[in-house]
Structure 1
Amino acid sequence: MFDKEAVIKLCNDLSKNTLMTTLEIEYIDAGEDFLTAKMPVNPRVHQPMGLLHGGASVALAESVGSAASIMFVNPEKQEVRGIEISANHLRSKREGTVYATARIIHKGRSLHLWEIRIVDEEDRLISLCKLTNMVLPRKS
């Protein structure tokens, strides 16, 4: 049985003292085939022109897509590694919050393919990303 609160807690706990902490990424929702996180848009994630940095958007997308793959593996026996990410940045953002939702496109034994939509508070599409994760046996 899917435990939404446990998934959100696990993802937030795993993120402590990482890039996700630095970028203030917080996991806020989960379902059997998706995971959502939010990130504030402020000078910490701006590029020199005062806009959301594309790299910060990609970091958000990879974070939520990689964490989402954890829902489909046994973390005691398997690890997840992002092996490819692509992003199309469609709208700029100066302040507020962005929300990234990863939805599974392909769930194989060794590869997971995710679509990550990053939207603003009004559900306007900011970036559309695709992430491929490899599932590996956990090394002792």
Structure 2
Amino acid sequence: MPTPERLNEIFADKLPGCLGIVVTSISKAEVRAEMEINQANIAPNGFLFAGSVVTLADTSCGNGCLANLPEGASGFTTIELKSNHLGTAREGTIACVTHPVHMGRTTQVWDAVVSHRQSGKTIALFRCTQMILYPQADLNQTVLL
């Protein structure tokens, strides 16, 4: 299972790292991550950019999927996501807690709650479906019936 330190290292020069997303804990049952609010994740109206919140939640759910890949899987990709934005913030830290809802062989469904750490206010509810990827079979050696 990947460690928070390893994931943060991998994401350092990717979108999560550019937005300041930090994975704080990961297990098969829960992922926690956070993001300091700064100018990189603020919209022109002065509030959190919705895409920043979605990126925090999607990153957390993806890390949960990564920690729970079935045997033989080579990876995953997000095939559906939905977010309900219930509030916003201008400063402080937003935190995300992610849990699995469905852990199938071909798909996983993850839920996340994003909240403002200082006030405890819920910022967004998020759900995504991950498609599990497997290496392609060698068709030259596969007998088709």
In the superposition, the TM-score normalised over structure 2's length comes to 0.85
Q: Distance in 2 between matches of 1:116 and 1:138?
A: 29
Give the unaligned 5+ runs of structure 2. 137-145
Deviation at 1:74, TM superposition (A): 6.1
Q: Which amino acid aligns with 1:112?
A: Q
Tell whether 2:99 aligns with 1:126: no
Tell whether 2:101 aligns with 1:136: no
Cα distance change on mapping 1:20 and 1:101 into 2, 3 Å: same
Between structures 1 and 2, the one with greater strand share: 1
Q: Which amino acid aligns with 1:126?
A: I
Tell whether 2:106 aligns with 1:100: no
Q: Distance in 1 between matches of 2:71 and 2:47?
A: 36
Tell whether 2:78 aligns with 1:82: yes
Tell whether 2:43 aligns with 1:43: no
2:3 match: secondary structure: helix
Larger Cα Rg: Structure 1 or Structure 2?
A: 2
Cα distance change on mapping 1:45 and 1:76 into 2, 3 Å: farther
Q: Distance in 1 between matches of 2:75 and 2:53?
A: 23
Moved over 6 A (4+): none
1:32 match: secondary structure: coil
Identity %: 24
Superposed CA RMSD in Å reads 1.9
What are the superposed Cα offsets for residues 66-99 of structure 1, whole Å, 9 maximum, x if unpaired? Answer: 1110011169841110111110110110011001
Cα distance change on mapping 1:75 and 1:17 into 2, 3 Å: farther
